[in-house]
Amino acid sequence: MRSGKHKDTVLITGANGLLGQKLCLSFSSSYKVVATDLHTQNLTSFSNSVYECLDLTDRRALVFHVRFYNPRVIINAAAYTDVDGCEIHRSKAWATNVGGVKNLVEVCQKHQIKLVHLSTDYIFDGEKGPYSEEDPPHPINFYGQTKLEGENVIKEGGIDFLIVRTNVLYGVGKKVKKNFLLWLLEKLSAGEKVKIVSDQFNNPTLADNLSACMLEMAQKGISGIFHIGGTDYLSRYDFALKVADKFEFDKSNILPTKTEFLNQKAKRPHRGGLSTRKAQRILRTKLLSVEEGLEQAKKSKEETKV
Ligand SMILES: NC(=O)c1ccc[n+]([C@@H]2O[C@H](COP(=O)([O-])OP(=O)(O)OC[C@H]3O[C@@H](n4cnc5c(N)ncnc54)[C@H](OP(=O)(O)O)[C@@H]3O)[C@@H](O)[C@H]2O)c1
């Protein structure tokens, strides 16, 4: 970051999404934030930030906003993230997760802007996770294919970039789509029984923790590919039990099942997740355990009454 009284500008896409909201909050402490998303409604409003409605697939609109705000960094938290939806709406998935990224790379090339991009453990096949940054990608669903192609477009674009791969994001935000935590809490509070897979393993990541790491990485000017996730590697079923424990719900309403019985459109990696050793070597920000992450999420839920 430059010194002096003028703060650098960061343009954040997908600002209304779970991670986007957290990024706007963390980055507005040190940067001027231009928050952008598909919709006219701005879900995050902080001092030091402005909001613009921007569809990443609209190249001309992107160029217009970049010329107008002159950001030093663009953080791409926008994506078509519905994993089963990506199997059905393939052209929308490709247009957003690949076409949108191509537009960003072009504009970053032209104006010497750094691109910080979010990717996923779904670029791996889930045969032998948790994965390191050196493991070869091999996606088994269309969402994973689009996210891998998005990474490739960036790597081949000749720009300064940081790709942060993460997995199973959870947290509390304003009007966000139901992430696993919010979905489960809704079911458990209604006293419903839920079947949760015991054969999918990841290291769930509190969105607030990821955004804090990304702020530190931006301030340190870190480039390359990094994996960021929570410190506990566990099955989705075990994660659900920990959620019930923390939020004091009846655990007997959580029943284990297997992926094959869910009949989901998209194939799911079984042993997914990300090894975070590389990130932990360089970050001062501590990656959180499930216990710590859920405690923080519980506090946010109580404060925001979401
Ligand atoms: N969630 C996870 O578990 C997870 C795991 C690994 C990696 N990631 C990655 O992390 C990033 C953030 O994820 P998230 O969970 O915060 O996603 P999210 O809540 O779905 O937010 C994404 C935001 O981007 C918006 N968007 C979609 N298409 C757009 C377009 N063409 N132009 C501009 N904005 C657009 C979405 O609007 P709509 O809601 O209207 O579509 C939404 O507000 C994504 O890159 C995702 O692939 C997420």
Which regions of 102-177 does DSSP assign to beta strands (E)?
114-120, 161-166, 169-170
Model-wide pTM > 0.75: yes
Amino acid identity of 187?
K
Q: Rounded distance, CA 88 to CA 86, Å?
A: 5
Q: Residue 245's pLDDT band (boundaries 50, 70, 90)?
A: very high
Q: Residues near 300 by Cβ (< 8 Å), separated by ≥ 6?
A: 171, 172, 208, 306
Residue with tokens 């928050």: 35
Report the CATH fold assignment for 9-176+204-229+272-287: Rossmann fold (3.40.50)
Q: State yes or no: cis peptide before 130, omega within 30 of 0.
A: yes
What does the domain layout of the chain look like in residue ranges? Answer: 9-176+204-229+272-287
Q: Give the DSSP per-residue string, 173-210.
A: -TT----HHHHHHHHHHTT--EEEESS-EE--EEHHHH
- Mean pLDDT to the nearest integer, 204-223: 98
Please list every protein residue whose CB sits less than 6 Å from any atom of ligand 1. 13-14, 16-20, 37-38, 55-57, 77-81, 96, 100, 118, 120, 147, 166-169, 176-177
Q: Rounded distance, CA 80 to CA 134, Å?
A: 25
> What's the confidence (pLDDT) of residue 44?
76
pLDDT in tens, 103-153: 999 999 999 999 999 999 999 999 999 999 999 999 999 999 999 999 999
**Two tokens, residue 161:** 């970039």
Strands 201-202 and 234-235: antiparallel
Best substitution site from 11, 12, 13, 37 to test ligand 1's pocket, by max atoms within 8 Å of Cβ? 37
SS3 at position 172: coil
> What's the confidence (pLDDT) of residue 184?
98
pLDDT in tens, 27-68: 999 999 999 999 988 887 777 799 999 999 999 999 999 999
Bridge partners of 146?
none
Q: How far is CA 262 from CA 90, 248, 256, 258, in A?
A: 21, 27, 12, 7
Residue 5's Cβ-count burial label (10 Å; 0-12, 13-18, 19+) is exposed
Amino acid identity of 58?
D
- Work out the mean pLDDT of the chain and round it to a whole number: 96
**Two tokens, residue 111:** 């104006």
Q: Which atom of ligand 1 is nearest to the CA of 55?
A: 32
